[in-house]
Chains A and B, each alone.
Chain A
Amino acid sequence: MNFIKASVQRYQLGSLLLLVLLLAVVLPLSLDIFRLNLVGKYLTYAFVAVGLVMVWGYGGVLSLGQGVFFGIGGYAMAMFLKLEASDPITTKIQSTPGIPDFMDWNQITELPALWLPFKSLPLSLALVVLAPMALAWLVSFAMFKRRVGGVYFAIITQAVALICTVLIIGQQGYTGGVNGMTDLKTLLGWDTRTDSAKYVLYYVCVGLLVLSILLCRWVQTSKLGTLLLAMRDKEDRVRFSGYDVSNFKVFTFCLAAGLSGIGGAMFALQVGFMSPSFVGIVPSIEMVIFCAVGGRMSLVGAVYGALLVNAGKTLFSESFPDLWLFLMAALFIGVTMAFPMGLAGVWEEKIRPWWKSRRQALREAAVKPPATPAPIAPAATPPEPTLTEPTLPDGVGSQRA
């Protein structure tokens, strides 16, 4: 019992539990499958935002190219699904049946070698995680070993994002170009477009997100997490305490890339397509905004950030499509100026202390009247329920955040 209590506190499981409650119970019960599928799509961005909490919040390194890793994961999944959707029978009208339609349109007559691994599901799933990590390792190893950091690193990641979009769009025959990969239908014969499949995929997405948060939480509470905080404060002190600082940055960057890849794969599965518009500079910056709004030091906050900003985006871009971009920019600037720790910071610093002081006041008010009579037993029992009850509204409030 004590052990459970201790680990709940250590890993901050309370807030995670509320999030799970919201995602796995409240939302599925209150939204229709169309809306829930949208939430599922937003949650795929939350993987990236959670990764950014590690890289940016904990590691102190801002990356403006996380869309690349989301994209690579997404494409890895989409390529598998596309191959499955392009079996020789459905594509028999093509000049080369059995290859994806866009290849046929681009006069490619044989499946390119790059695509061969994506014939196998286990290999594709491995590549969803490993391919983004490999690229992240390449970029971050080259940069961090040379002690490139701060603004320069952010600019390099932007350049990587730009290069990737140009490559994807340019190599139409291999990637599907601007349109990306569309008409993804089945996963090992299982139709992913049905309502029941969407429910299953939504829950898989929630499950993976929770696991990702737990993994990050574990990293944060390890010595590595402490070292990241120490490095953000005094990098030289860490270096001259015998640590190879760059290795720790490379690790967090690769971790975030792997998580982003999972997010991308869940996107391809739930939305049914993947395109370069999720890879470039703009989506990468948007993902930083999700993280900033939610709070860059809070894993759970990042999820709320992704949900809220995207809900806002869907709401506003339906009615005022032109205004949304400005609104988003204003939101970002406003939040980072006024609440540098995002919604999670507001929650920790403002709402919780306020709630505690109110609870304190309530308790004092409640204690005073019975202080005059002397009955011991009845007076001793009431405090117990009052102790547990306030945590309930406490929790409801956090779902708002």
Chain B
Amino acid sequence: MSNTDFALAVEDLTVSFDGFKAIDDLTLYIDRNELRVIIGPNGAGKTTLLDLICGKTRASAGSIKFKNTELTRMAEHKRVRLGIGRKFQTPSIYENLSVFQNLEVSFPKGRSVFGALAFKCDDEVKAKVQAIASEIGLADRLDTEAGLLSHGQKQWLEIGMLLMQEPELLMLDEPIAGMSARERELTADLLKRICQNRAVIVIEHDMAFVKQIAHKVTVMHQGKILAEGPMEKVQADPKVIDVYLGH
């Protein structure tokens, strides 16, 4: 397949679990510096799509290219090192470590065994942790054990751990699940800030939130793309109203 200017080019992607096609011949392009929101009813295959991109699930067919590098056969950690960060649907942080340690461990240096042994938490790392912590609003909680944070703060922490790695493609699976109205607003602001200089894919159910942040919306249904475009256009699409908004 030819090279493109897209940050991410997913073409003819298919994955089947025992014959059930969770992603079915799906094609999707994400621009550099774009914030894309993917919506769709439960079981549409949104999480599975992210799994395929980050390597948690192997594709049955098709191609995934990140900055024109084919990903489908690449090991997970190598995809991360290329610049792909992914937040899981349920906040996935190290509960027993402090907020500081959670961020420190995510710093993209000392990733080999001996690199990790020799790794020093120097001023550069500390400054970075401090900067990210204030970005995600946890600057005064650095010494707190991460397990003690509220659900919303855990979501932020995981986003912060990804930001430590300066990913060029950031994929967030339901980042505002379990957040209060105030926390949602803060998260919307955060997303608007962090989508500068990188592509962001957000999976979300909350329409009000989607309207607030999206550049472009993709609607998925049964492993396929049903509609794509600005929020107003998608919302007016009769197919979408049929399967999703009327859902």
Q: Given the interface contacts A233-B96, A234-B94, does A240 sit within 8 Å of B117 by beta carbon? A: no
**Contact indicator B116/A224 (Cβ below 8 Å):** yes
Chain A, interface residues (CB within 8 Å), range:
20 to 34
**Contact indicator B92/A234 (Cβ below 8 Å):** yes
Q: What is the interface of chain A mostly: helix, strand, loop, or mixed?
A: helix
Which B residues touch A223, using CB under 8 A?
104-105, 110, 116-117, 119, 121
Interface centre among B92, B93, B101, B118 (most CB of A within 10 A): B92
Q: How many A-B residue pairs have CB under 8 A?
A: 77
Query: Which residues of A223-244 have CB atoms within 8 Å of chain B's CB atoms?
Result: 223-224, 226-227, 229-230, 233-234, 236-244
Q: Given the interface contacts A223-B117, A247-B113, does A239 sit within 8 Å of B76 by beta carbon? A: yes
- Nearest Cβ distance between residue A146 and chain B, in whole angstroms? 13
Q: How far is the CA of A15 from the CA of B98 in the complex (A)?
A: 24
Q: How far is the CA of A224 from the CA of B113 in the complex (A)?
A: 7
Say which one of B60-68, B80-88, B181-189 lies at the interface with A: B80-88
A2 at the interface (CB under 8 A from B): no
Q: How far is the CA of A238 from the CA of B86 in the complex (A)?
A: 11
Query: Which residues of A244-279 have CB atoms within 8 Å of chain B's CB atoms?
Result: 244-245, 247-248, 251
Query: Which residues of B109-150 have CB atoms within 8 Å of chain A's CB atoms?
Result: 110-113, 116-119, 121
**Contact indicator A242/B108 (Cβ below 8 Å):** yes
**Contact indicator B119/A222 (Cβ below 8 Å):** yes
**Contact indicator B116/A227 (Cβ below 8 Å):** yes
Query: Chain A interface (Cβ within 8 Å of chain B)?
Result: 219, 222-224, 226-227, 229-230, 233-234, 236-245, 247-248, 251
Query: Chain B interface (Cβ within 8 Å of chain A)?
Result: 54, 56, 75-77, 80-81, 85-86, 88, 92-97, 101, 104-106, 108, 110-113, 116-119, 121, 158, 161, 165
**Contact indicator A226/B77 (Cβ below 8 Å):** no
Which B residues touch A222, using CB under 8 A?
116-119
**Contact indicator B97/A240 (Cβ below 8 Å):** no
**Contact indicator A230/B97 (Cβ below 8 Å):** yes
* CB pairs A–B below 8 angstroms (26 shown): A222-B117, A223-B119, A223-B121, A224-B117, A224-B119, A226-B104, A227-B105, A227-B116, A229-B96, A229-B97, A230-B94, A233-B94, A234-B92, A234-B94, A236-B56, A236-B88, A236-B92, A237-B94, A239-B77, A240-B76, A240-B85, A241-B105, A241-B165, A242-B111, A242-B165, A243-B77
Shortest Cβ distance from A219 into B: residue: B117
**Contact indicator A230/B112 (Cβ below 8 Å):** no
Q: How far is the CA of A251 from the CA of B94 in the complex (A)?
A: 21
Which A residues touch B97, using CB under 8 A?
226, 229-230, 233
Shortest Cβ distance from B83 into A: residue: A242
Q: How far is the CA of A275 from the CA of B232 in the complex (A)?
A: 78
Which A residues touch B108, using CB under 8 A?
242
Q: How far is the CA of A355 from the CA of B105 in the complex (A)?
A: 35
- Nearest Cβ distance between residue A149 and chain B, in whole angstroms? 16
Q: How far is the CA of A398 from the CA of B116 in the complex (A)?
A: 33
- Nearest Cβ distance between residue A239 and chain B, in whole angstroms? 5
Q: Given the interface contacts A233-B94, A234-B94, A237-B92, does A242 sit within 8 Å of B116 by beta carbon? A: no
Shortest Cβ distance from A249 into B: residue: B113
Q: How far is the CA of A121 from the CA of B170 in the complex (A)?
A: 56
- Nearest Cβ distance between residue B46 and chain A, in whole angstroms? 17
**Contact indicator B113/A230 (Cβ below 8 Å):** no
Contacts A237-B158, A244-B77 known; 9 new A-B pairs at CB < 8 A:
A219-B117, A222-B118, A223-B110, A224-B116, A237-B88, A240-B76, A240-B80, A240-B85, A244-B75
Which B residues touch A226, using CB under 8 A?
97, 101, 104-105
**Contact indicator B94/A248 (Cβ below 8 Å):** no
Shortest Cβ distance from B171 into A: residue: A240
Q: How far is the CA of A211 from the CA of B209 in the complex (A)?
A: 57
**Contact indicator A242/B80 (Cβ below 8 Å):** yes
